[in-house]
Structure 1
Amino acid sequence: MKTRVLVVAIIVSFVVFLDGAVTNVALPAIKRELGGGLAVQQWVVDGYLITLGSLILLAGSLSDHYGRLRIMRIGLFGFAITSLACALAPTGEFLVGARIVQGAAGALLVPSSLALIIATFPAAEQGKAIGRWTAWTTAAFLAGPALGGLLVDAVSWRLIFGINLLPIAVALWLMRKIDQASEDRVRQQIDFVGAALGVVGLAGPVYALIEQGRYGWTSPLILVPLIVGVASLTTFIWWESRAPNPMMPLSLFAQRNFAWGNLATFFIYAAFAFVGFAMTVFVQEAAGYTALLAGLVQVPSTVIMVVGSSFFGGLSSRYGPRLFMTVGPLVCAAGMLLTLSVTSDAVYWTQLLPGILVLGVGMAITVAPLTAAILGAVDPKRAGIGSAVNNAIARIAGLIAVACTGVIVGSTLDVTGYHRAAIACAAFLIVGGVIAFIGIRNPRKTDAPAAQPAAPATPPAAPAPSAPKTEPAA
C-alpha cells in the first residue's frame, strides 16, 4: 500500500509540475501559430501559475476537510478536461483562458498528494519517501523541456497538453485500491473569502508586471489592477488573521523552520522557475536551437537531481537540513554565474553544460532537505494545508519571477537579456541560502517526535509557511 501511495503521489504531482515546465519549450511555436509576442508567452506560463499558486491554499483546506483522495480525483478529472481544451485551443486568448482553469485543477492535486504521503508513512520513513517524491516532482521542471521539445519538433506543441491524459488515467486506476476510510480529516468551514482575495491579489500585480511594457506604468490599465491587487493582498493578510477558519493559518508561521524555510523557498524557487523560462526561450530565439535541442539542454541536471535528491534527503535526516539548505543554493548560484560565458552562438559543451551540471548538484543538495525541514514543522493532521502553503509560495515565486521577465531582461531574450536573467537568478539563490543559514535550526534528536506536530491543529494567530515540497518543488 505504501508503494502504491508513493507512486500515485509522484504521478499526480509530476503531471502538475511537468505541465508548468513543459510549456516553456513550446512558447516560440505557440507564438508562431497563435501570435501575441512575449506578453502572450508570459501569460501562457503565468495564467497557469496564478490559479495554481493562489488556489493551492484553498485546495489544502479542501484536502484536509473532504479527504485527500476525493479532492485528488476531482483535480485529476478537471486537469484532464482542461488539458484537452489547451490542446485544441484555436486562439492565444482561448489557450490562456484554458491554462487559467487548468491551474485551478492542478491546485487540487499537489497538497493532496504530499499530505497523503505524510499520512501513510511513519515519521522514520518520511524523509526517504519525501526525497523520492522530491526527486521525481522537481525533475519534472527539468525533464519538461526535453519532453516538450521532442513533441513540438516531432508533432505539434498541442501534444504537450494532450499527453497528460495518459498519466492521469494511470493515477486514477492505481487510486482505486487505496483505502480512503483511514484518512484523518479536519472538519471546518472553508475560507472562500480568503481564496477570492488571494486570486485578485496575485492577478492584479502580475497583469501589471507583464503588460507594463505595452501600456507604461502610468496607464490606468496598469495602475488600477496594480492598486487593486496590492489592496487585495493586504486585505488577505488582515482577513487571514481574523477569519475563524483561515485557508492560510498564520499560526503555522510560529514555527521557526516553517517560517524561515518558506521565506528561503520564495527566493530559491523564483530562481528555479526563472532560469527554466529564460534559458529555454533564449537558446531557441537567440541561438537558433530546435525545440528538441532546447529541451535537452537541462537533461544533465535532471539526472543529477533524480540520483542525488534521495541521498541528500537521507543525509539531512541524519545531520539536519541547515547545512544543505545553505550550501545548496550557493552551489546553484555558482552554476548560474558559470553560464555568463554564453554568447549568441550558445555553444553547449563549453558555455552552458558546466553551469548546468553545477546547478543540478546544487538542486539535489537543496530541495529534499528544504521540504523535509518545512514538513517537519507541521502537525500531520494539518499536512494538507501545510503542504499547500509551501507549494503556494513556490508557485507564486515562479509566477512573480516570470512576470518580471520584461523588467529584468527587456523586450527580448537576447544575449544581454539572458546575462541579466542569470545574474538575477544567482542573486535570488544567494539570498535564499543566506536566509536558510540565518533562520533554519536543526531539530534536536531527542525532539524528533515533536518535530512533526509543530503547528497546532486549531490555529490562533501567528505565521509559518511551508516549502514547495512540504507543502513542496518543486
Structure 2
Amino acid sequence: MSTVSLRSTAGRWVVTSSILASAMAFIDGTALNVALPSLQRSLHASGAELFWVLNAYMLMLAALILLGGTLGDRLGRRHIFMTGIMIFIAGSAACGLAGTVTMLIIFRMVQGIGGALMIPGSLSLISSAIDEAERGKAIGTWSSVTTLVTIGGPILGGALADAGLWRYIFFINIPIGIITLLCLWWKVAEQEIPADAPPQDYPGAVLIVGGLALLNFGFLRVPVSGFDSLAAYGSILAGALLLAGFVITEQRSRHPMLPLHLFKNRTFTGANLLTFFLYAGLSGSMLFLSLNMVQMQGYSQLESGLSFLPFTLLMVFLARLAGSLADKYGPRWFLIIGPFLAGTGMLLMALVGQTTGPSSYWTTFFPGIMVLGMGMTITVAPLTATVMGCVSSQLSGTASGVNNAVTRIAGVFAVAVFGALAVLFFAGSMQPALQELPLTAAQKAAAMAQTANLGDAAVPQGLPHQQQQLVAQLYHQHFIRSYGKIMAMCGGLGWLGSLMAWIFIKSQKSERRI
C-alpha cells in the first residue's frame, strides 16, 4: 500500500479508524480511575483488588503489545488490528456483565489481550500509510482526538459512576468497536505482507507476562506482608529473574519480539526512557489525584472528572500544532521542555493540602493541572513522531509496539509501586499518631488495619464518638500527606524524563534510521 495524503479520502479513513480504536483502548483506564469508589462499593472489593482491576488490563497490554506489533508487521496490520478490536469488544462486554471483582479482573485481562493486538496497529497504519511530510500532523491529529477521549474519560466515568452505571464504561466500547470494524473492512486496504514471515517469539511473551505479573503481585503484597515475607520478596525476586531471562532470550532469539538492536539508535533509546519516566509519573499522579479528590476533598466523581477538562482542552487545541512545529523545527526542545513542565505541574499539585472542596478548585488543583496539561501537550505528538521516525516503515509496527509497551509497563509499575508506597507511607504516618490517642491496643490495631484501604479507610466500629472523629481526622490528614509524597515522586519522574531528552535526543538527521 503506497502512502497517501492526509487530506485524501483514503488518508482520512486511515486516521479515523485508528482514532476510534485507540479511543476504546485509552478510555477505560482514565474513566475507571474516577469510578473506582463506585466499583468498590458495588463489588465489595478491597484496596488491593482495585489496583488489580487497573493492572490486570495494563499487565496484559504491556506484556503482549510487543507481540501485537510484530504480528502486524508479519501477518498484515489491518488483519491483526481487526482481530484485536474483536477481542477487545468481547472482553468489554464480559467486564460489563462481571458479577464479582475476580471475574472483572479476569475479563480485564481479556481486554488487555485485545488491546495488545489493536493499539500498535493504529499508529503503524498512520506511519506507513500517510506521506512522511504530513506524518507529524497526522499523529498530532490522532493525539489530540484520542486525548479528548482519554482525558475526557474521567468526565464520562464520573457521570456514570455517580448515576450507579459504572458498567457502561465497558459497554460503550461495543458500538465504537463495531463502527471501527466496518470502517476498516470497507475503506482501508491491507498492506503488503512479507512472503517469508518468521515465527513468533512465544517464549519471550511467556517470560515477560510472568515477570511483570510476579513483580506486580509482589509489590501489591508488600503493604500486607512486608518485604521479608516469602510471598512478597520471593515474588519480586522471581519476577526480576524472569525479566532478566526475557532480555537474554531476546538477545539470543533469531526472531525476537523485542529487537534489542533498535536500542543502538541513541534517539530511540532516549525517547523510550523519556516515555517510561514521564508516563510512570503521569499514571501515578492521575490515579492518586482522583482518589484524593473523591475520597478526601469532597468532590463527586463527576466533579473529579470535570477537573481534568483544562488538560483536555489544551491537548485538543494545541497537540496538532505541537506536532507540526516539531516537524518543522525538530523535536528536541519540545521533549525537554514538555516533561519538565509536566513534572512541575505534578509538584504543584503535591503542595495542595486539605481544601474546602470543588469551590476552591481554581486556587488549589487548577494551576497544577494547567501546567501538567501544557507539558503533556508539548510532548505527546513530538515524542510519538520521534519514535516512529527512528525506524524504517517496515519496522514501524515493532517500534510502535515497543514504545506503547514502555508506556504500559510504566503504568503497571506506577500502580504497583506507588500503590505499595502509598500504603506504607500512610501506615507509617498513622502509627505514631494513633499512639497518642487513648485507645486500646485492639482498637489501634483495627485502625491500622484500615490503612490498607487508603482513602477508603473506615473508622473501626465501637469507638466513642469523639474518638471516631479524631481517627477520621487522622485518616484525612495522613492520607493527604501520603498523597503529597507520591505526587512529589511523580513530579520527579517527569523531570527525569526531561533529563533523558537532554542527554539522548539530538538532531534525528544526524542519526541513520534502523
Q: Same fold by TM (over 0.5)?
A: yes
Q: Does structure 1 retain, via aligned residues, the 8 Å contact 2:284–2:490?
A: yes
Between stretches 215-224 and 356-365, larger displacement belongs to 215-224
Report the alpha carbon displacement of residue 72 of structure 1 after superposing the two structures with TM: 1.2
Instruction: Tell me which residue corresponds to 2:55.
Output: 46
Unaligned runs of 5+ in 2: 1-9, 424-451, 456-478
The residue number in structure 2 matching 1:268 is 278
Q: Distance in 1 between matches of 2:114 and 2:415?
A: 21
Which residue, out of 380, 391, 413, partners 1:400?
A: 413
* 1:16-40 C-alpha deviation (Å, 9 max, x unpaired): 1111221111111111111232211
Matched, 1:188 2:188: no
The 1:19/1:293 distance shift into structure 2, 3 A limit, reads: same
Could you list the per-position Cα deviations for residues 224-258 of structure 1 after superposition, in whole angstroms to 9, with x for gaps in the alignment?
32222111100000000010100000111111111
* 1:265-319 superposed Cα distances (whole Å, 9 cap, x missing partner): 1001111111111111111111121111111111110110111111111111111
Q: Is the 8 A contact 1:49 1:103 kept in 2?
A: yes
Q: CA deviation at 1:138?
A: 3.5
Query: Aligned pair 1:254/2:264, yes or no?
Result: yes
- In the TM superposition, what is the alpha-carbon distance from 1:122 to its structure 2 partner? 1.4
Give the alignment of 1:360-439 within 5 angstroms.
360-410=373-423, 411=452, 412-413=454-455, 414-439=479-504
Q: Which amino acid aligns with 2:399?
A: G
Separation of aligned partners in 2, 1:341 and 1:47: 31
| Correspondence for 2:211 among 201, 204, 215 | 201
Distance 1:182 1:36, change over 3 A: closer
Shift of the alpha carbon at 1:342? Answer: 2.0
Aligned-pair distance for 1:407?
3.3
Match of 1:134 in 2: 143
2:363 is the alignment partner of 1:353 = no
TM-score, length-scaled by structure 1: 0.92
Q: Deviations over 1:330-357 (max 9, x none)?
A: 1112212222342223431110011111
Stretch moving more, 233-242 or 306-315: 306-315
C-alpha distance in structure 2 between counterparts of 1:77 and 1:181, whole Å: 17
**Residue among 201, 224, 240 paired with 1:214:** 224
Contact 1:275/1:422, CA 8 A, preserved across alignment = yes
Work out the CA distance in 2 between the residues paired with 1:326 and 1:377: 18
Equivalent residue runs for 1:44-443 within 5 Å:
44-185=53-194, 187-345=197-355, 346=357, 347-410=360-423, 411=452, 412-413=454-455, 414-443=479-508
Distance 1:138 1:200 in 2: 31
- Native 8 Å contact 2:65 2:116 kept in 1: yes
Q: CA deviation at 1:223?
A: 2.7
Aligned match of 1:18:
27
Q: Percent of pairs identical after alignment?
A: 38
Which stretches in structure 1 are left out of the alignment for 5+ residues? 456-474
Q: CA deviation at 1:89?
A: 0.9
Q: Read off the aligned partner of 2:282 and give its amino acid letter.
A: F
- Give distance in 2, aligned partners of 1:136 and 1:44: 26
Contact 1:408–1:420 (Cα < 8 Å) also in 2: no
Deviation at 1:179, TM superposition (A): 4.2
CA distance in 1, matches of 2:320, 2:16: 15
Q: Deviations over 1:107-153 (max 9, x none)?
A: 11111111111111111111101111122233443211111111112
1:141, 1:276 within 8 Å by CA — same for their partners in 2? Answer: no
- Superposed CA RMSD in Å reads 1.5
Give the partner amino acid of 1:228. A
One-letter code of the match for 1:307? Answer: F
CA contact (8 A) 1:152 1:159 kept: no
Structure 1: how far apart are the matches of 2:38 and 2:164?
11
Q: Give the structure-2-normalised TM-score.
A: 0.85
Structure number with larger C-alpha Rg: 2
Q: Equivalents in 2 of 1:181, 1:395: separation in Å?
A: 27
Q: CA deviation at 1:181?
A: 4.1
Q: In structure 2, what residue type is equivalent to 1:93?
A: T
Cα distance change, pair 134–107 in 1 and its aligned pair in 2 (3 A) = same
* Partner Cα distance (2:192, 2:175) in 1: 27
What one-letter code is carried by the residue in structure 1 that aligns with 2:180? A
Alpha carbons of 1:181 and 1:357: their partners in 2 closer, same or farther (altered >3 Å)?
A: closer
Q: Say if 1:119 and 1:183, in contact at 8 Å, map to a contact too.
A: no
CA contact (8 A) 1:72 1:112 kept: yes
For residues 423 and 141 of structure 1, the distance between their equivalents in structure 2, rounded to whole angstroms, comes to 24
SS of residue matched to 1:247:
coil
1:148·1:292 contact (CA, 8 Å) conserved in 2?
yes
SS class of match (1:218): coil
How many residues align? The count is: 449
